[in-house]
């Protein structure tokens, strides 16, 4: 199984220890790029693919993304590319 499929499978289980770095790689699989809006954005980040965007706050002080945020991201990504979730 490829590392992309492993990451998608891990994300689909909504783990309690999913890191922001893993999330950036996951969005990249779906064709999104990370944008942090410059120095004044603070912890706000945006994942962009064409006109589609997903906005969130980077987790801090740690690097673990909360499960409620992961569920929102799952719904967002599944609505865009549900074929990638069929492993």
Tens digit of pLDDT for each residue in 18-56?
A: 999 999 999 999 999 999 877 766 789 999 999 999 999
> Six-digit token pair at 40?
């004044």
Given this model, what pLDDT does residue 87 score? 57
Residue-averaged pLDDT of the chain: 89
Domain carrying residue 58:
3-85
Given this model, what pLDDT does residue 33 score? 96
Q: At what angle do helices 3-12 and 20-29 cross, to 10 degrees?
A: 120
Structural domain total, the chain = 1
Given this model, what pLDDT does residue 31 score? 93
Given this model, what pLDDT does residue 43 score? 84
Please, which pLDDT band fits residue 79 given cuts at 50, 70 and 90?
confident
Can you tell me the distance from the alpha carbon of 49 to that of 34, in angstroms, rounded to the nearest whole number? 9
Q: In this structure, what CATH number is given to the domain that contains residue 65? A: 3.30.160
């Amino acid at each position: 199984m490829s590392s992309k499929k492993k990451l998608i499978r891990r994300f689909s289980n909504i783990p309690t220890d999913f890191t922001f770095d893993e999330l950036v790689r996951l969005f990249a699989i779906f064709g999104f790029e990370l944008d942090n809006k410059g120095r004044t954005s603070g912890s706000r980040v945006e994942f962009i693919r064409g006109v589609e965007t997903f906005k969130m706050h980077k987790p801090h002080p740690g690097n673990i993304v909360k499960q409620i945020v992961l569920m929102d991201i799952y719904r967002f990504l599944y609505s865009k590319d549900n074929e990638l979730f069929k492993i």
